[in-house]
Amino acid sequence: MILDRFALDGKVALVTGTSRGLGQGAALALAEAGADVALLDRSAPEETADRVAALGRRVHVVRRDLTTATAADLESAVQEVADTLGAVDVLVNNAGTIRRAPAAEHPASDWDDVLAVNLDAVFHLSQAAGRRMLERGSGRIVNVASMLSFQGGILVPGYAASKHAVVGLTKALANEWAGRGVNVNAVAPGYMATDNTAPIRADSARERSISERIPAGRWGLPDDLAGAFVFLASDASAYVHGAVLPVDGGWLVR
């Protein structure tokens, strides 16, 4: 039955940036589909862990700060999950940060921090989990891109550059790993009502201009991405490689 192909029973998923927002939504969606979940965060995502456990799934918290984490730190994080819950079958690279400043005055430290979280950590975690997936001949990696993987944005040069790069990395890994049983894809959320967009939503003129352009007529919520995460993490997407799936209320087609 087709619905059986969406099930994640017996799988272990590692999700980054899970204390709230899209990462929390991804963790809960995968748990609802049957997966046990490891939550990688710089602080303890207690609410998310409790909600995963309430679904009857095993849950494990991995503490890492992706701003400063080295490749070795992230290799050890993947090994910790494998030792605790079993092999990492699904990796969701969700954690992200954004810094706003005009490009001409954009602090180098902001650029470095954004690239460390949004790109370096994505590569190092994909590499660490990917090695193990390649040895088994199976696995799913889902990266979180953005509308700014397609557009330049305003006042966010580091974020736009990193999210363009995430799409390039997704395609590069898919080219190498698709024939070896590892699917690498990305979701590209539209304008979502999360902490990252709070400054935009607080600007009434900007919020109105964005809302008016979204064909669906509203900003997205974490739950709007649940189906995309489960699809790309499951056997239902077995022949999907290197894809970037917009979940944007129609923003890109306007």
Beta bridge partners of 234: none
DSSP annotation of 113: H
Q: Which residues contact 225 (CB under 8 A, 6 or more apart)?
A: 22, 25, 26, 29, 187, 189, 192, 247
Active site residue 239: no
Which one from 111, 123, 159, 231 is the annotated catalytic residue? 159
E strands within the chain? 12-16, 36-41, 59-63, 90-93, 139-144, 182-189, 244-247
Question: Could you give the angle at which helices 71-85 and 121-136 cross, rounded to 10 degrees?
Answer: 40
Rounded CA Rg of the chain:
17
Q: Report the catalytic residues.
A: 159
